[in-house]
Amino acid sequence: MEFMTSTLVLMYKVSKGPRMGPNKQLTGVATESQRVVRECEVTAILILYGLPRLLTGYLLAHEMMHAYLRLNGHRILNNVLEEGICQVLGHMWLESQTYAPIDAAASSSTSSSRTPLAAASASKKGECSNFEKKLVEFYKNQIEENDSPIYGLGFKKVYEMVSYTSFQETLKDIIHWG
């Protein structure tokens, strides 16, 4: 399973077509694809309904980091480092859930039906169930072992940077160096 997230920068792959030049000659014939990048303002973060709580939280943390960067004017960042910092923030959020107390009533009331699985995942107040602990570890492992050249490599680079300093200092470095 690989995490799928949307980016706030939309990319379209288009082929450059020929143009009519002087004397009705074709000019500018391109044989390879070109990338066009269109910048967007942040107006919303959309997440699919019905995803597990932990996956939803991870996705929100990841996408909110993209929104933070855009809303603070950081539009031209290295794609690998931007996705890396977003992945690290999502990973950190998941890590925080290992030790976060879970409110059983709130957890089960968000479930569409009160199934035995929902009851098992929302144990006594203040305890993270074994099921949720294993799910956190699974999601974290998916991030850590991702071999994507952007998400996986980005996470590994930024995670190493964060291990030498703080998240805030790493974010400042990424913003400064682009």
pLDDT in tens, 132-156: 999 999 999 999 999 999 999 999 9
Confirm whether 147 is domain-assigned.
Answer: yes
Q: What's the helix, strand, coil split of the chain in %, to 5?
A: 55, 10, 40
Q: Looking at this protein, which amino acid is placed at residue 60?
A: L
Q: What is the pLDDT at residue 86?
A: 96
pLDDT at 18 over 90: no
- Please indicate whether residue 40 or residue 115 has the higher confidence score (pLDDT): 40
pLDDT at 163 over 50: yes
In a domain, 5, yes or no: no
Domain presence at residue 18 = no
Residue 127, domain extent: 51-177
Establish if 161 belongs to a structural domain. yes
Q: Give 26's strand partners.
A: 20
What is the pLDDT at residue 142? Answer: 97
* Sequence-ordered alpha helix ranges (H) in 100-150: 104-109, 116-121, 130-144
**Domain contains 89:** yes
pLDDT at 100: 67
Looking at the domain assignment, is residue 56 inside a domain? yes
The model's confidence at residue 32, banded by pLDDT at 50, 70 and 90, is: low
User: Are the CB atoms for 102 and 123 separated by under 8 Å?
Assistant: yes
> Considering the domain boundaries, does residue 63 fall inside one?
yes
Average pLDDT over residues 103-125: 47
Tally of domains within the chain: 1
User: Is 82 inside any structural domain?
Assistant: yes
- Spatial contact of 68 and 40, defined as CB atoms under 8 Å apart: no
pLDDT above 90 coverage of the chain, percent = 46
Confidence of residue 55 (pLDDT cuts 50, 70, 90): very high
Phi, psi of 172 (to 5 degrees): -60, -45
